[in-house]
Structure 1
């Protein structure tokens, strides 16, 4: 029965995560409530998100809505961030990461109201120092903790003038990269419970496929309100569970 629950947790989390980020809002707290150790829960999320994110990127790439060239720009930054985050995860306390999460999500929420971008641009992806640091930083945060990283990635891509479906594709390859980097460290340190991870993985891949097809049909004017709702829910969940 536990593995069935994990399958559906992975499915629901990745439908939400693909559309607007925030899948960790569902998966990580649910796994902790099931009594799964925190490092094993995070590690299971990293491994399952590695595969599910890649699978959803491939679907978007198949429809020629994002290019390999753009993916190769994003991947090294997020991979480096994910590896770095995974390596030093044990050095940062949980309370420190909670503070970082709240600050980043609050800033993203505020900037979404101040910014003019509504995923209506179609600019080529150009990385400068500011955006490069942002992508590396989100990859680092994803490697250490995770919930909200996909949502933060969507905000960054929105401000770069990337259209919604391209942003979904690039966010997925970014999450693939950071989770792949983090997964290496969690596997190497023996934190992975493989039966738990595989059950979550099967649900995650299924949810990612559903999510990417829904994303292709979602009207752009609904995206920012949805991102704001997910961000507020993440903030409430993080603060309430750690009071």
Structure 2
């Protein structure tokens, strides 16, 4: 068994730590572009025989550093656009914190229906999305209800479950706020950082985080996030759109397989 608790110290084989670093490097790059990096890191932690709750907590640690790096890189490059992120950031924090606390006391089996439907919907939306002008369009939802309802709702989902949160924020920005794909993706990284941090704090208070493992993965995640943000600045919407579709479909297949709903 790779993961052990010995007098409060975590023990993971060096080869496993190196493999987790490599997975986090790739996941950080993917996450910066389209979201869905957790599709790689969380299963890797579970394959390392780390208990599920500790794996979720440790995944939040490494992804917090990755999303922070990608968010700051995109903001410095001006990809997020001139938008005030203070209110949605706080709403995302609150939603995620409530979700992380709530999931420890409720039956989450309803998510087995909700998650695949939402992932499939996002993939179909980006596949069918017509070519948009290189400017923001008229929003379908006003800023106040978007910030106070949609953002904390996605934050709650991330705290309670997590897969695809970055893609959800991107899709919501494009479909509900009429944003261009690149600014929506950049702002999604900032909001995803908020949800990761809030969830991490709750897990840390409960003593569930493996700091050594998460720290090593964080280095890989930050490196990958920087490369991913650089790729977005050069590839723009042409890069984001297909990767969002691939990651959503990948998460959907993985989720259906884990639930035993696929014949293989």
* Alignment correspondent of 2:71: 57
- Whole-angstrom distance in 2 between the partners of 1:140 and 1:204: 23
In the TM superposition, what is the alpha-carbon distance from 1:99 to its structure 2 partner? Answer: 2.9
Shift of the 130–171 alpha-carbon distance from structure 1 to 2, 3 Å rule, reads: closer
Report the alpha carbon displacement of residue 103 of structure 1 after superposing the two structures with TM: 2.6
User: Which residue in the other structure is 1:166 paired with?
Assistant: 183
Deviation of 1:201 after TM superposition, in Å, equals 1.0
Q: How does 1:189-200 map to 2 (within 5 A)?
A: 189-200=206-217
Provide the rounded CA distance (Å) in 1 between the counterparts of 2:164 and 2:123: 11
* Structure 1 residues 100-134: Cα deviation after superposition (integer angstroms, max 9, x where no partner): 32232123234335554658433699624256422
Q: Name the residue aligned to 2:150.
A: 134
Is 2:245 the partner of 1:240? Answer: no
Q: 2:223 aligns with which of 206, 210, 216?
A: 206
Mapping 1:53-202, distance limit 5 Å: 53-66=67-80, 69-93=83-107, 95-113=109-127, 115-116=129-130, 118=132, 120-122=134-136, 127-130=143-146, 132-159=148-175, 160-202=177-219
Q: Which residue of 2 aligns with 1:44?
A: 58
Contact 1:32/1:38 (<8 A) preserved: yes
- What TM-score comes out, normalization by structure 1 length? 0.90
Ranges in structure 2 where 5+ consecutive residues have no aligned partner = 1-14
Number of matched pairs: 243
TM-score for the superposition, normalised by structure 2: 0.83
Whole-Å separation in 2 of the counterparts to 1:162 and 1:107: 18
Give per-residue Cα distances to partners, 1:157-177, cap 9 Å, x unaligned: 122222233222211110111
1:23-82 Cα offsets, whole Å, 9 max, x none, are 111111121111111111111121222222112211122223336752213201211111
RMSD between superposed Cα atoms in Å: 2.3
In the alignment, what sits opposite 2:3? none
Contact 1:17 1:150 (8 Å CA) reproduced? yes
The C-alpha deviation readout for 1:179-210, integer Å capped at 9, x for no partner, is: 11111110011111111111211111111111
Partners of 2:68 and 2:82 in 1: CA distance: 12
The residue matched to 1:91 in structure 2 has which SS? coil
Larger Rg: 2
Alignment partners' CA distance in 2, 1:140 and 1:172:
16
Change (3 A) 1:143 1:21: same
**Could you list the runs of 4 or more consecutive aligned residues of structure 1 that deviate by over 6 angstroms after TM superposition?**
none
Give 3-state SS (helix, strand or coil) of 2:104's partner: helix
C-alpha spacing 1:15/1:105, structure 2 compared with 1 (3 Å): same
Question: Of Structure 1 and Structure 2, which has the larger fraction of its residues in helix?
Answer: 1
Go from structure 1 to structure 2 and tell me whether the alpha carbon gap of 1:119 and 1:212 turns closer, same or farther (over 3 Å shift): farther
Query: Which deviates further from its counterpart, 40-49 or 222-231?
Result: 222-231
Say if 1:92 and 1:117 are closer, same or farther in 2 by CA, change over 3 A: farther
Structure with larger RCO (C-alpha < 8 A, sep 6+): 1
1:60–1:66 CA contact under 8 A, matched in 2 = yes
